[in-house]
Amino acid sequence: MGDWGVRQRCVGVTAAIAVLGMTIALSGCGSTGAPRSVTLRLVAAEYGTNSDTTTQKFWSALALAFEAEHPDIKVDVRVRPWKTIDSDIAEMVEEGKAPDLAQGSSYADYAKGDKLYTADEVMSVPTQANFLSQLAEAGRVNRIQYGLPFAASTRLLFYNKKLYRDAGLSAPETWDDIERDARALAERGVTTPLALPLGSEEAQSETLMWLLSGGGGYTETADGSYNIDSPQNVRTFTWLKGLVGEGLTGPVPPSKLDRATAFSAFSNGQVGMLNGHPALLEAARKRGVEVGAVPLPGVRGKAKSSMGSADWMMAFRQNGHGKQIRAFLDYVYEDKNVLDFVGRYDQLPVTYSANEAMAGNRKYADLEKFRSGLDSSELFPYGKTSWSSVNESIKKNIGRAVEPGGRPADVLGRIARDASAAEVAE
């Protein structure tokens, strides 16, 4: 019999006993005073690369430890791949089956629809105040925080030191250096001198890195409006299209190249340069690749800023478990758990206290270059409810800008029109 049937049975029996004037303890009818258990459902993203490193192991261990301290709260974790997690969450919400907590790449649409708890509703003051200010700000819609940063990352330009030494090259500092190095690597038979993954998996990230490198970006700094087809952005993709046309970006068209494939090729020693995040550093080293890493060069020197990214935790209102969510999130964001996660998956912590602990620990020395650049990095416009649809337009269209016969101005113009339409609908 389900919970609803048990409750009905208990109501009926209790009423009958009341009529007879009897007082009896009823087994299973809640008379013991034991707290009713609540199960939180969490949809989490997969950061691992195989069954040994799967994120399920992290969450299962964390849930068990939490449940030992909170026996009235259970946590059911389901891990989804990054490629589908956003659509998986959207489908659950649309079907009226929203999880209590979910990780994803955007939260603003759900906040607009009043489907999310605010941060102060599901976090203690010390926990919420511990978020890095830049990330806390990025988690706001109309000045109210809904997005809870969970992990962060920045990007550097990686290069294969052995391939560079063999070609007599030094680390690139400008666009001219990148172009010169790519040609030199191609002449020595390197399969992919410069990997340019503009496939649907992560095109929005690769695009923003190069736009920042060229002095542009997705938005105007002054008012936050989209400026995707700016002259700087058109110049950037015109330059990239030239590299593609010369065959310097490898045998797979950028529009068909996903990040995971490019990272694997770099780890196998087949790529001279590509934009990488901390997890790739360790993966490549395990395969014997000697990795160099520098800030992404700009036209005439260091780019104006690097790209930063954050993955978001969202707390849905539907099931009414705000009190239990609060207890769980306060536990999740304790330093021991934050550092455990970022250490396993080479991410950057999102809290001040965990950053301080990381800075003083040699165990995380490889992450220092990435961590130190987070404060000055530029993030996606996460707080714009239009970002989700703009993000999809970039993934769908941007690869065409560098294809044979493609016109960067036209492709960027189309994405800009999609962005304007989405912004009007906000």
Whether residues 29 and 48 fall in one domain? no
Q: Which contacts of 109-115 are long-range, i.e. CB under 8 A and separated by 24 or more positions?
A: 109/385, 109/388, 110/146, 110/314, 110/316, 111/141, 111/144, 111/146, 111/147, 111/385, 112/141, 112/385, 112/426, 114/317, 115/316, 115/317, 115/318
- φ, ψ at 406 (rounded to 5°): -75, 150
Looking at residues 167-192, what average pLDDT do you find? 97
Query: What's the rounded Cα separation, in Å, for the pair 384 and 76?
Result: 30
What is the span of the domain harbouring residue 187? 155-306+385-424
* Residue that is written with structure tokens 């996660």 in the block: 341
pLDDT tens column, 197-226? 999 888 999 999 999 999 999 998 667 899
CB atoms inside a 10 Å sphere around CB 318? 14
- Give every CB contact of residue 117 below 8 A, 6+ residues apart in sequence: 146, 315, 316, 317, 322, 325
Whether residues 344 and 390 fall in one domain? no
More confident residue, 144 or 368: 144
- Give domain status of residue 380, yes or no: no
Q: What is the pLDDT of residue 222?
A: 65
Which DSSP category does 53 fall into? Answer: T
- Give domain status of residue 295, yes or no: yes
pLDDT tens column, 334-362? 999 999 999 899 899 999 999 999 887 88
Q: What is the pLDDT of residue 289?
A: 96
More confident residue, 247 or 281: 247
Residue 263 has pLDDT above 90, yes or no: yes
Query: What's the rounded Cα separation, in Å, for the pair 358 and 339?
Result: 8
Whether residues 46 and 130 fall in one domain? yes
Residue 15 has pLDDT above 50, yes or no: no
Residue 16 has pLDDT above 60, yes or no: no
Sort strands 140-141 and 73-80 into parallel, antiparallel or unpaired: unpaired
**pLDDT band per the 50, 70, 90 thresholds, residue 34:** low
pLDDT tens column, 140-177? 999 999 999 999 999 999 999 999 999 999 999 999 99
pLDDT tens column, 76-114? 999 999 889 999 999 999 999 999 999 998 899 999 999
Q: How many domains does the chain have?
A: 3
Q: What is the pLDDT of residue 420?
A: 93
Whether residues 4 and 92 fall in one domain? no
Whether residues 173 and 274 fall in one domain? yes
Strand partners, 77: 42
Whether residues 16 and 76 fall in one domain? no
Whether residues 18 and 43 fall in one domain? no
Note the pTM of the prediction, 2 decimals: 0.82
Q: Which two tokens stand for residue 280?
A: 């790739």
Residue 33 has pLDDT above 60, yes or no: no
Whether residues 50 and 159 fall in one domain? no
